[in-house]
Amino acid sequence: MLFHGRPKWFLSMFVAVSRDKPQASPLAELVQDVVTSEPATTLQAQALTLATGVPDPQMLAMAWQSALLVGDSMLNALRRETGASIGVYRDSWLRGKDGWGVGRHPASGLLTAKDLAFAFEIVEEPE
């Protein structure tokens, strides 16, 4: 998961499991290349230009689009570097619509995608 600050309005999660190859680039380099790419920085700059303290739908849509672009780009970069992924999970949640927040997700059971199954927990950061 990539985020800056505290996730507040939406959460987009991309989980990929793939085999490591000796000649593959380090994951940190792949992330750096993706988040500093022209499409990603353009969307991030547009979203920041609209930010006013009170989120409006247009700003949130651009931020969400930026998160999806970064996630999809990371999945593509991993596929290029390592070949086929063993498992991929992708989903997004909106705060108001899906009511995500502190706690285990899902509350019981697991999130699944083919052979990949997991849960995650959002914890309250101490002040």
Cβ–Cβ under 8 Å, residues 11 and 100: yes
Closest to 92 in 3D by CA, of 70, 63, 64, 57: 64
pLDDT value of residue 49: 61
pLDDT value of residue 7: 67
Cβ–Cβ under 8 Å, residues 75 and 88: yes
pLDDT value of residue 3: 52
Q: State the total domains in the chain.
A: 1
User: Directed axis angle between helix 27-35 and helix 57-82, to 10°?
Assistant: 140
pLDDT value of residue 109: 94
The parent domain of residue 83 ranges over 10-17+26-93
Q: How far apart are CA 121 and CA 98, in angstroms?
A: 15
The answer to the question of residue 3 being in a domain is no
The answer to the question of residue 118 being in a domain is no
The answer to the question of residue 5 being in a domain is no
The answer to the question of residue 83 being in a domain is yes
Cβ–Cβ under 8 Å, residues 58 and 28: no
Local confidence pLDDT in tens for the 127 residues of the chain: 545 456 677 778 888 888 778 888 888 888 888 888 887 777 777 666 655 566 667 777 777 777 788 888 888 888 888 877 777 788 887 777 777 778 898 889 998 887 788 898 888 777 7
The answer to the question of residue 113 being in a domain is no
